[in-house]
């Protein structure tokens, strides 16, 4: 089946590919976005590229669609996030027993005292090979309990592109639905400060968000829809300059985990400009494709949340994020659904977001 199958005005539901960013428990925002999109009969999700928490949502979406269509996907996503909540203190996003228990729920004035900062620095200086020598990772059990990876490898209803970072070569690795296991998702979500590297075929991997958060390039080289809807979890824009050590570190983390995505978006914008000006040729079997970009961003929806909240797995917090995601998706559908299959609703020439 040649690249470009989806070109032209589609009949029936509009095909779309999703790009899901990683961001710890803020992935529940993506849960809400998916929950709302699955209710929209005029859209059909045919491919997902994802990293970290986005990868968890991606395999839950695929498993649910495989088992029971749209309703099955909605139910599977809710079941998975309930599993995340049940892990409590040993949550799937990196509880070392030193990391979240020590820092969660403390008043800001306490966190800004010299004594607290010294304790925080000491805790963060510990390696997961030291504080978790048995390499316990509750994400494995959560995934194995919800996902039939053998079934997905054989007959996934959507194409999946899951990123991880190869530790030794510092290269982005993208795993496909035909090879996925729980370890591949664990690798995509492996923060090196809190989890030991996940080995796959002898290669150690860390979180995919370092180099591809999420990877967009696989959607250009495979037979996928021309429309890409990016769902981001890390704000690109912050109005205030961070000043405290914690705020500075939070913002550095956001910038770091957005860097690869920003570079890809700039490249896409450049290629689209050349295509628009006729300097590159867009053909069904050509190297370059006219992609239509859309986005539901975290810049407003999650701007009030700090890095520390990405480890919060309280059910009330997760459901609040879900509702934020549903609202953001509903607003996007109201403003941009008519542009799917027609034109980009994200203006890359004007900058992002």
pLDDT average, residue stretch 283-287: 55
Partners of 173 in beta bridges: 164
Q: What is the DSSP string of 272-291?
A: HHHHHTTSS-B-TTSSB---
* pTM beyond 0.85: yes
Contacts of 58 (CB under 8 A, 6+ apart): 18, 20, 48, 50, 160, 162
**Contact present, 186 and 198 (Cβ < 8 Å):** yes
pLDDT average, residue stretch 21-42: 96
Residue 278 clears pLDDT 50, i.e. is over it: yes
| Predicted confidence (pLDDT) per residue in 93-108, tens digit | 754 444 444 444 444 5
The residue that leads in pLDDT, 87 or 311, is 311
Q: What share of the chain is helix, strand, coil (3-state, %, to 5)?
A: 50, 15, 35
| Predicted confidence (pLDDT) per residue in 164-202, tens digit | 999 999 999 999 999 999 999 999 999 998 899 999 999
Residue 3 clears pLDDT 60, i.e. is over it: no
Q: What is the DSSP letter of 302?
A: T
Q: What percent of the chain has pLDDT over 90?
A: 56
Q: What is the DSSP letter of 72?
A: H
Partners of 20 in beta bridges: 50, 231
H or E element that contains 153: helix 149-155
- Tokens read off for 157: 């209803």
How far is 343 from 55, CA to CA, in rounded Å? Answer: 27
- Tokens read off for 219: 């959607």
Q: What percent of the chain has pLDDT over 70?
A: 83
| Predicted confidence (pLDDT) per residue in 234-272, tens digit | 988 888 898 877 788 888 888 888 899 988 998 888 888
How far is 291 from 268, CA to CA, in rounded Å? Answer: 8
pLDDT average, residue stretch 59-69: 97
How far is 297 from 98, CA to CA, in rounded Å? Answer: 31
Mean pLDDT (the chain, rounded): 85
């Amino acid at each position: 089946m040649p690249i470009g199958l989806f070109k032209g005005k589609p009949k029936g539901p509009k095909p779309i590919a999703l790009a899901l960013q990683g961001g710890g428990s803020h992935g529940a925002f993506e849960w809400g976005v998916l929950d709302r999109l699955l209710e929209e009969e005029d859209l059909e999700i045919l491919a997902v590229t994802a990293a970290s928490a986005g990868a968890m949502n991606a395999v839950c979406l695929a498993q649910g669609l495989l088992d029971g269509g749209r309703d099955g996907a909605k139910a599977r996503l809710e079941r998975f996030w309930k599993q995340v909540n049940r892990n409590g203190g040993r949550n799937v996003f990196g509880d070392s027993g030193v990391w979240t228990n020590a820092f969660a729920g403390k008043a800001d004035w306490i966190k800004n005292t010299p004594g607290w900062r010294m304790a925080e620095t000491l805790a963060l200086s510990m390696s997961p090979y030291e504080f978790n020598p048995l390499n316990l990772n509750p994400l494995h059990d959560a995934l194995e309990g919800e996902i039939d990876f053998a079934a997905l490898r054989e007959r996934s209803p959507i194409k999946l592109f899951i990123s991880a970072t190869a530790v030794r070569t510092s290269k982005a690795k993208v795993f496909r639905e035909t090879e996925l296991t729980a370890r591949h998702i664990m690798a995509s979500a492996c923060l090196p400060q809190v989890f030991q590297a996940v080995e796959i075929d002898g290669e150690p991997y860390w979180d995919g968000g370092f180099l591809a958060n999420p990877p967009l390039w696989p959607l250009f080289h495979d037979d996928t829809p021309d429309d890409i809807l990016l769902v981001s979890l890390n704000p690109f824009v912050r109005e205030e300059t961070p000043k405290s050590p914690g705020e500075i570190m939070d913002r550095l983390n956001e910038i770091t985990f957005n860097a690869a995505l920003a570079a890809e978006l700039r490249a896409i914008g450049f290629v689209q400009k050349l295509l628009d000006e006729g300097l590159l040729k867009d053909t069904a079997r050509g190297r370059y494709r006219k992609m239509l970009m859309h986005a539901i961003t975290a810049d407003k929806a999650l701007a009030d949340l700090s890095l520390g909240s990405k480890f919060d797995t309280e059910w009330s917090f997760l459901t609040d994020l879900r509702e934020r995601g549903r609202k953001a998706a509903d607003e996007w559908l109201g403003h941009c659904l008519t542009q799917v299959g027609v034109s980009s609703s994200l203006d890359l020439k004007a900058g992002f977001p």
